Structure 1
Amino acid sequence: MTTAEKAKIHQNQYQKRCELLRQEFASRPVVKEIWEEEVEPTLLKLFMIHWCALSAGLTEPIPVYLKRAGDGCQDLGLQEMADFFYEHEGEEDGHENWAIEDVENLVAVWNKEESNFPLDAKELLANKMSPAVKRYHQLHEQVIEGDSPWAELAIDVEIELISTTYGPTLIKKWVASMGQHSLPNISFLHKHVVADVEHTETNFEIVDKLVSEHPDYTDILVETAANALNSYADFLEDAMTYAKEVYARMSNVTV
């Protein structure tokens, strides 16, 4: 791919219109709190535990959504899009297990360090379907069951872009606070950052080809992207809210 071709995939109408949406996501208070402010180590641990638990609920059905989106695109004669979703389906399979393992490991460490305020990994995972997680799944269902299953691409693009844009900073913050030895306990985050770097350029190429061939798809793609970004910001708020609830109870007990 030439330099001009690479530049083009970042300058189509989808990318230009989504840039503002991504800026709005970055301005959400919970995003600024986690990525721009100093998070007290105990609260950071609790956030990561709850984020991983909710991530298990967020990611579990993704392969099924991708398969259904592929089927929908195939029915519409969009074979290239269908093939993209089918391939991505295999790549996403089993990712919830990374999050589950992280919850178990993080809670085990927490219970050793905070024996007076133990957490239950099974209970956390039993409550992995927070309100924001449920809304995120509703978004997938609306897109896949609607007239534009190809718009599932916008959800894929924006959520994986969050991994590559914000993931490295969160990993650095975690390691700076908890130490390098703790990195294996956040494998879900770490592995997604690595995997999604490779996916992002491919995703952008697919988007560019789709909007070049079907410019009338752009509005729906952008609308879906906005909903995906808002859903993920709400998801972060759920994780931080749950973390702060535990943190507040700990403070009351300490007092």
Structure 2
Amino acid sequence: MSMPVTSADMLQRPLPDINVGPNCTQSDAIHHIKYVGPLRPWATFKPEVIATFQNTNWSPVPLSTSFVNSPTLGPLETEHILCGDETGLQGRFEERVGQVLGVVFEVNQIDLVFGDFKCTTNALTYRKTPDIIIMRPNGSSYVVGEIKTFWVYEHQLARVTARFNFGEEKFLRQVLGQIAQYMQDLDLKFGFISTYNETFFLRQVPFGRTMGLEFSPVIHHNEMYTREGDVTVRQGMIHLALCSLVDPHPDTGLRGVWTVDT
């Protein structure tokens, strides 16, 4: 016997583990750009995500089905593709996060889609190419994202966040340089960086007379939703997307120097 799987069900589910091939890239893909603006943790991120999830009237329209005695979608719930580089990993992220949220957007009448940057109107004039965009179907950019491979040491987000908490800011600031530049150049309030296994979410906020960045706790791909405070990557992403619909752009009157080449 099968049962329907709804938007709320899919948002609560963790992401499956990625299969890394016997050979894979090992190069550090952190750009030589450093974020030098104000920076602090987004302390209220998880409570905000939980509030969004609990207070949204999610559509009961079934997205899929699962067996009553099994909480998964069977073989489709696990990965059957080997990844060996950033391009492959980006494809798996877009399938497991972007494709699922795309359906959630559609059945809940949320006017957003995941897409390639080249689909946006910004791409007509902006020379750089961010990895992922959450956008309006008409091409307007709302959230920008960047993907890095999780098996490269320099890309480990929990590691650089822990060092930031102990006063060593330079590592996190280097990791944030590329995505911060995209957010400022594209005039977007919200962004994210993900290795698939680890994701954190970013927003521009005022720090006195200039804009700075807040970064969420690292959300791991296998985290499951609990009312006590744990959230999934999909829940975090849809919260960011819904926030961008309300307030997509920062206060440009508070722009300052955000990044420097290193």
Q: With the length of structure 1 as denominator, give the TM-score of the two structures.
A: 0.25
Query: Which protein is bigger by CA-based radius of gyration?
Result: 1
More strand by share: 2
Higher-RCO chain (CA-CA 8 Å, sequence separation at least 6):
1
Q: With the length of structure 2 as denominator, give the TM-score of the two structures.
A: 0.25
